[in-house]
Amino acid sequence: MTQAPPNDSPPKSPIKTGPRTKFLERSNYRQRRFRDAARWLPLFGAVFMVFPLMWPRETLDQSLTSSSMIYLFALWVILAVLAFVLNLVLRVSDSIDGDEGTDERGSE
Amino acid sequence: MISFNLLVLVSLLYVAFLFIVAFVAERRAALGKTGWLRSSAIYTLSLSIYCTAWTFYGAVGYAARSGLEFLTIYLGPTLVMIGWWWLVRKLVRIGRAQRLTSIADLISSRFGKSTGLGVMVTVLAIIGITPYIALQLQSVTQSIAVFAAGSGEVWAQRDLDGAAMWVAIGLAVFTVVFGTRNLDAHERHDGIVLAIAVEAVVKLFALIAVGIFVVWGVAGGVGATMDLIDASAQSQWAPSPSRWIGLIFVSGAAFLCLPRMFQVLVVENSDERALGTASWAFPTYLMLMSLFVVPIAVVGLDLMPEGSNPDLFVVTLPLSEGREGLAILAFLGGFSSATSMVIVATLALATMVSNHIVAPSWLTSRTTGAAVSGDVRGVVVASRRIAIGVIMTLGYIYFRLSGGGTALAAIGLVSFTGIMQVLPAMIGGVFWRGANRWGAGAGIAIGFAVWAWTQFLPSFGIDGVISQAVFDNGPFGINWLRPHALFGIEGIDPLVHVAFWSMLLNSGAVVLVSVLTFPNPLERLQGAQFVNVYDYSSDARAWSQSAAQAEDLLVMTQRILGSAEAQTVFRAEAQMQGKSGFLPDVTPDFIGKLEREMSGSIGAAAAHAMIGQLTEGATVSVDDLMAVADETAQIVEYSNQLEAKSAEQERTARALREANDKLTALSIQKDAFLSQISHELRTPMTSIRSFSDILRDGEVDGDARRRFAGIIHDETNRLTRLLDDLLDLGVLESGQVQLNIGEGTLADVIDRAVLASGIDETKVSISRRANAEAVTLSTDMDRLSQVFINLISNVAKYCDADEPELRIIVRPMDGQLAVDFCDNGTGVPQESQSVIFEKFSRLEDEGKAGGAGLGLAICRQIMTAIGGGIAYLPGQGGAAFRVTIPTD
C-alpha cells in the first residue's frame, strides 16, 4: 500500500522558534493541568498499590488474601476509571504541544 | 470424555479461522479500507499479547504457589499504561517520526544509527525471548496432553515433542505468511494484528467463562469463594515488600522493553489517540484477566487430587467436573494466548535479526556498492523468513533441552529481567540528550552480564551450568562474585537481587560512560530529535551535499521499496521541487527523507549504511551541524534586523513629525512677526501723518505747532529706533555681524552703560563691587555695553519696587565671567520666562515702556555672537538676568 510521506510540507526550520508565552488562555491552561494530572496518576497508583503491604496483621501468618484482593481490584477499577475520564478531557495532539517543552526539553 | 481427535479438529478449525481473519484483514488493508482495522479497540486488544500462556495457565499456578503475588505482573503494565503521558506517548511519537521497526532499531537509531548496538539488543532479545517461546510451546503441548490423557492415551515425552514440533511449524508458517508478505515502508501487519485481537477476545472470554463456572458453578457464589480463599493454606499471602515492589517494577519495565510489546505498542500504532483509549482499556483488560485467577487456583487446590499441576487447573478443573465444552474453550483460550505471543515475538525478533544482523553484514559483504540493480527486498524478506524459522527452531530446541519441567512463572521472570536490561539505555536515550552510544553499550553489556551470571545461568539449576561450589564460594573462590550474593550481600530474594544489581550497575554505566565519552555528530543530531521530539517539526538533516546522483538513488530505493513505491516517492519530491519527471535534485533534505523511508523497511542502521555507500560517506559532520545551527541563527538574526529597522523607521518618522511641527510653528511665528512689525510701524506713522496734516493746514498757533512738531519728532525718533533695532536684529540673526574686538575692563563697560542708560541714580540705587569688576576683557566692547544698557534701562522701566535697587554681581564661572543683574521688583512670572527673549514679547501693556519688545531679543543675539550667553535667573527675589562673557 502506498501512503504519502508525512512530511510533504515544505521544509521548515528544524526548531520551532517564537516566544514562549507565560500566560495561557483558560482552555489551554486547563489542558496543561489535565496533563499534570495524567502524569501524577501513575505515581499515586504506585503508592496505593503498596498499601496492602503495610496493613497490620495480628499474627505473622494471618491471611489478608481476600481483603487485599478486594482492595487491589477496587484500586484497579478506580485507576482505570480515572484514566478513562482523563482520556475524555485530554487533547492528544494540538497546538500547545510544543510549548510544553519546559519540563520535557532536554539539554546537552 | 471427548475424543482427542475432536480436539485436534477444533484446533485446526480455529487455526483455519485465524488464517481467514488475517487474510481478510490483509485484503482490506491492501484495498486501503483500514478504517476499523486500525481502530482504538483493535489496538488495545492487540496489546493483550502481553498476556501469554504464562498468564492463561501460569497465573493460576503462580497464585496457587504464592497467593496474590501474581498480580504484580499485571500491576506494572497498568501503571505504565495509565502513565502513558510520561513515556509511551513519547515512544510512539518517536517511532512515527523515525520509522522505527523494533526496539533494537530504537536503540540503534537513537545512538547514531549504530550497527553494533542494534546487534547487541538483538542478541540480548533472542537469548531472553527464546525460553519464553519454549514456554508457550510447552504450555500448548501440556494442555493437549491433558486431553490425550482424558481420552485414554498416555503421552510419552516423545509424543509431546512431536506435538510441540507441529505447533512450532504451524506457527512459523502463519508468521511467514502474514508477517513477511510485504516489505512495507511502515512495518504494519494488519492481518496479524487483527488475528491477535480476535485471539485476545477468545482468551479473555475463555478465562472469564472458566472463572464464572468455578465461582458460581463449583464453589457456590462469591461469599463461599472468599471463605475458601481465606481458608486455603496454600494461598496464604505473606507478602515480601521488596519482592512486591521489585516485581511491579520488573513487569512494568519488561512491558516497555519486550520486542513483541514494542511491536504492537509502537510499530503497529497508527494513531496516537488509540493510546488514550488503551490507557484505560488495557488496564481494564488486565484486571478482567486477573479477576478469576485466585478463585480458580483455590478451588483447584481444594478439589483436584494432591500433586496435580496447578498450571493446568484452567483446563483440568472443567474436565474433572465433566464440562467438556468449557474445557475445549479453555484450551482454545490457552492456545490463543500461546500462539499470538509466539507469532508476534517471532516476527519482532526476525525483523531485528534481518535489519540489524543480516542486512548490515550483507551490505558489507558486497563490495560492488549499493547502486547495482536487483531487488534487495528478496534478500531482506528471505532473511526474515529464515530468521523466523531459526528462532522457532531455537525455541523448540530450548523446549527439548529444558525437558518441560520448570514452573512456567520462573521462566517468564527470567525472560523479563533479561530484556529489561534495555530499559536504562531506552530511558536515557529518550529523556537525556547526553546519553551516547558508549554509555548505552556499556550499560547493556554490564546489565546483560549481571543478569546472565545471577539469573539466567542459575536458572538451569544447580550444577546445570554453574556448579554448587561456585554458588557457595564464587568463581575461582572469589567470594563477592557469588551468583546470589553479589558483593557479599546475602539474603536478598534472587529476583530482587538480579533486578536491583543489574539495574543499578546498568544505569550507572550508562550515566558514567556517557559523561566521560564524546558522541559523534550523528548521535547528537539523533539525540536532539529523540529527546525533543515534540519540538521538531521536521527532521534535521543528517547528510551534507553529496556526490550521489538522483538516478543511482532511485535504483537503490527501488531495490528496497519496490519500483512503484520508490517512483512515487521520487516523483512526489520532484513535484515538490517544481520539476517534472522522476528525478528530483539531490538535496540533503531529500536524502534524509529517503533514508527515513528505507529505514521503515530495513531499519535505521542499514538504511544509513546503504545511503552512505552512494553518497561516499558524505555524512553529517560537526561543521554541517554548525551550518544548520547557523541557518537558524541567521533567521533569528534577520528577524532581529527587521525589528531594528522598523524601530529606526519609527524614530525617523518621529523626527520628521517634530521637524514638521517646528516648521509650522515657524511659519506661524513669521506671520505673527509680520503683523507685529506692521503694527509697530503703523502706530507712529499714523500720529506723524495726523500731526503733519494739522501743521500743513496751518490753523494752529505757535505753541501748539511746537508741541505738534515735537510729537512728530519723537515719533520719527521712535520709528528710527525701531528700524535700527530691526536692522540690528536682522544683521545679528543672519550671523553677518562684524565684531569690533577691543580691550577694556568690565568696570569701564558697566560705568558707560549706567551713564548711557540715563538711569536716575537718585531713584534707583545701584550696588556694585569694584574689585570684582576689575577684569580685563577682550571682546566687542560696544556691543557688550549695548546689552548692559538694555538690561539696566529695563530696571528703570519695569522695576515696580518702592525703592528700586539694582545689584550687579560679577563672578567667574566655568571659565567664563558671569555678570548678574538683579533688581528687587516682582520679577518675571514663570510662564513668561521662556518667551522674554523672543521678538516683540512684552510683559505688560505696550507703550508704557515705549519699546517694541526687541531689546532682549537683540541682547541674546549679541551675546551669542560674541560667544557668551544671556539667561533669566529665577529665584533671586526679583528680575535677574545672567550674562556670561567668555574670558581667555
CA B437 to chain centre: 22
Specify the CATH number for the domain of residue B671: 1.10.287.130
Select from B276, B286, B589 the Cβ nearest to the Cβ of A90: B276
Q: Where are the beta strands (DSSP E) in B750-802?
A: 765-767, 776-780
Q: B702 near B694, Cβ under 8 Å?
A: no
| Strand order across the beta sheet in which B869-872 lies | B765-767, B805-813, B816-823, B880-886, B869-872
Complete DSSP assignment for B669-738:
HHHHHHHHHHHHHHHHHHHHHHHHHHHHHT-S-HHHHHHHHHHHHHHHHHHHHHHHHHHHHHHHHHT-PP
pLDDT value at residue A98: 42
Q: Does A37 touch chain B (CB under 8 A)?
A: no
Q: Which residues of chain B have pLDDT under 50?
A: 185, 235, 370-371, 373, 537, 845-849
Same domain, B826 and B716: no
Q: A15 near B632, Cβ under 8 Å?
A: yes
- The sign one gets for the Cα dihedral B372, B374, B379, B380 is positive
Q: Which three cell numbers stand for residue B556?
A: 537503490
Residue B521, judged by CB atoms within 10 A of its CB (0-12, 13-18, 19+), counts as middle
The helix/strand/coil state of B460 is helix
Chain A closest CA to B601's CA: distance in Å?
13
Same domain, B261 and B386: yes
Same domain, B723 and B754: no
Complete DSSP assignment for B521-551:
HHHHHHHHHHHTTTTBSSPPP-B-S----HH
Return the number of CB contacts < 8 Å for A and B: 175
Residue B607 lies in a domain: yes
- Which residues of chain A from 57 to 96 reach within 8 Å of chain B, CB to CB? 60-61, 63-66, 68-69, 72-73, 76-77, 79-84, 86-87, 90, 92-93
Same domain, B674 and B717: yes
Select from A76, A97, A106 the Cβ nearest to the Cβ of B283: A76
Same domain, B859 and B791: yes
Chain A closest CA to B141's CA: distance in Å?
32
pLDDT value at residue B548: 62
Measured between CA atoms, the residue of chain A closest to residue B33 is: A1
B273 CB neighbours in chain A (<8 A) are: 92-93
- All residues at 6 or more sequence positions from B471 whose CB lies less than 8 Å from its CB, including other chains: B458, B462, B482, B483, B484
Q: At what angle do helices B103-110 and B604-614 cross, to 10 degrees?
A: 50
pLDDT value at residue B262: 92
Q: Which three cell numbers stand for residue B879?
A: 528680575
Residue B307 lies in a domain: yes
Can you tell me the distance from the alpha carbon of B688 to that of B725, in angstroms, rounded to the nearest whole number? 20
Q: Where are the alpha helices (DSSP H) in B452-583?
A: 468-473, 494-516, 521-531, 550-561, 563-576
Same domain, B597 and B686: no
pLDDT category at A16 given cuts 50, 70, 90 is very low
Same domain, B706 and B785: no
Chain A closest CA to B472's CA: distance in Å?
31
Residue B857 lies in a domain: yes
Asked if B287's CB is within 8 angstroms of A73's CB, the reply is yes
Asked if B635's CB is within 8 angstroms of A17's CB, the reply is yes
Chain A closest CA to B566's CA: distance in Å?
10
A78 CB neighbours in chain B (<8 A) are: none
For the CA atoms of chain A, what is the radius of gyration?
22
pLDDT value at residue A96: 46
B883 forms beta bridges with: B819, B870
Specify the CATH number for the domain of residue B882: 3.30.565.10
The helix/strand/coil state of B176 is helix
Q: Which three cell numbers stand for residue B110?
A: 537513537
Same domain, B189 and B206: yes
Measured between CA atoms, the residue of chain A closest to residue B79 is: A42
Domain of residue B563 covers: 542-620
- All residues at 6 or more sequence positions from B505 whose CB lies less than 8 Å from its CB, including other chains: B446, B447, B450
A14 CB neighbours in chain B (<8 A) are: 536-540, 628, 632
Chain B closest CA to A66's CA: distance in Å?
6
Chain A closest CA to B272's CA: distance in Å?
7
Measured between CA atoms, the residue of chain B closest to residue A105 is: B532
Q: Which three cell numbers stand for residue B423?
A: 530499559
> Above 0.90 for ipTM, yes or no?
no
Q: Which three cell numbers stand for residue A78?
A: 478506580
Same domain, B356 and B387: yes
CA B780 to chain centre: 77
pLDDT value at residue B248: 93
Question: Residues B288, A66, B495, CA angle at the centre, nearest 5°?
Answer: 75
Asked if B528's CB is within 8 angstroms of A65's CB, the reply is no
Among the listed residues B130, B164, B180, the one whose alpha carbon sits nearest the alpha carbon of residue B390? B130
Domain end point (choices B620, B637, B669)? B620
pLDDT value at residue A74: 93
Asked if A65's CB is within 8 angstroms of B68's CB, the reply is yes
Asked if B184's CB is within 8 angstroms of A42's CB, the reply is no
Mean pLDDT for A75-103 is: 72
Asked if B593's CB is within 8 angstroms of A84's CB, the reply is no
Give the CA-trace dihedral at B266, B271, B272, B275, to 10 degrees: -70
Compute CA distances B393 → B132, B169, B217, B291, B402, whole Å: 13, 9, 42, 35, 14
Select from A52, A81, A92 the Cβ nearest to the Cβ of B272: A92
Domain boundaries, chain A: 24-54+67-92
Select from B81, B276, B628 the Cβ nearest to the Cβ of A14: B628
Q: A49 near A72, Cβ under 8 Å?
A: yes
The helix/strand/coil state of B189 is coil
Q: Which three cell numbers stand for residue B481?
A: 562474585
Can you tell me the distance from the alpha carbon of B189 to that of B29, in angstroms, rounded to the nearest whole number? 9
pLDDT value at residue B546: 56
Compute CA distances B108 → A11, B400, B433, whole Å: 26, 33, 15
Select from A61, A65, A84 the Cβ nearest to the Cβ of B229: A65
Chain A closest CA to B504's CA: distance in Å?
20
Same domain, B672 and B754: no
pLDDT value at residue B371: 46
Q: B235 near B63, Cβ under 8 Å?
A: yes
Convert the pLDDT of each residue in B814-857 to its tens digit: 788 888 898 888 888 777 777 788 777 666 644 444 566 778 88
Amino acid at B374: G
Q: Residue A27 — left, alpha, or beta (φ > 0 → left; ψ -120 to 50 → alpha)?
A: alpha
Give the CA-trace dihedral at B266, B271, B277, B278, to 10 degrees: -10
Asked if A104's CB is within 8 angstroms of B68's CB, the reply is no
Q: At what angle do helices A26-54 and B72-82 cross, to 10 degrees?
A: 170
Q: Does A10 touch chain B (CB under 8 A)?
A: yes
Q: Does A5 touch chain B (CB under 8 A)?
A: yes
Complete DSSP assignment for A6-38:
S--SPP--SB--SPPPSS--HHHHHHHHHHHHH
Mean pLDDT for A52-60 is: 68
Can you tell me the distance from the alpha carbon of B785 to that of A23, in angstroms, rounded to the nearest whole number? 70
Specify the CATH number for the domain of residue B216: 1.20.1730.10
Can you tell me the distance from the alpha carbon of B796 to that of B288, in angstroms, rounded to the nearest whole number? 113
A101 CB neighbours in chain B (<8 A) are: 532, 534-535
Select from B79, B90, B238 the Cβ nearest to the Cβ of A42: B79
Measured between CA atoms, the residue of chain B closest to residue A45 is: B79
B89 CB neighbours in chain A (<8 A) are: 92
Question: Residues A47, B257, B310, CA angle at the centre, nearest 5°?
Answer: 75
pLDDT value at residue A26: 75
Select from A39, A52, A98 the Cβ nearest to the Cβ of B534: A98
A5 CB neighbours in chain B (<8 A) are: 569, 572, 593, 596-597
Q: Which three cell numbers stand for residue B711?
A: 510729537
B565 CB neighbours in chain A (<8 A) are: 2
A105 CB neighbours in chain B (<8 A) are: 531-532, 535
Asked if A38's CB is within 8 angstroms of B83's CB, the reply is yes
- How many folded domains does chain B comprise? 4
Asked if A83's CB is within 8 angstroms of B32's CB, the reply is no
Asked if B635's CB is within 8 angstroms of A13's CB, the reply is yes
Same domain, B616 and B634: no
Asked if B535's CB is within 8 angstroms of A43's CB, the reply is no
pLDDT value at residue A23: 63
Chain B closest CA to A31's CA: distance in Å?
13
pLDDT value at residue B419: 92
Q: Which three cell numbers stand for residue B779?
A: 571682546
B512 forms beta bridges with: none
Same domain, B562 and B699: no
pLDDT value at residue A18: 46
> Half-sphere exposure of residue B11, counting CA atoms within 13 Å on the CB side?
25
Complete DSSP assignment for B239-268:
--HHHHHHHHHHHHHHHHH-HHHHIIIIIS
Residue B119 lies in a domain: yes
A12 CB neighbours in chain B (<8 A) are: 537-538
Q: Does A52 touch chain B (CB under 8 A)?
A: yes
Chain A closest CA to B462's CA: distance in Å?
30
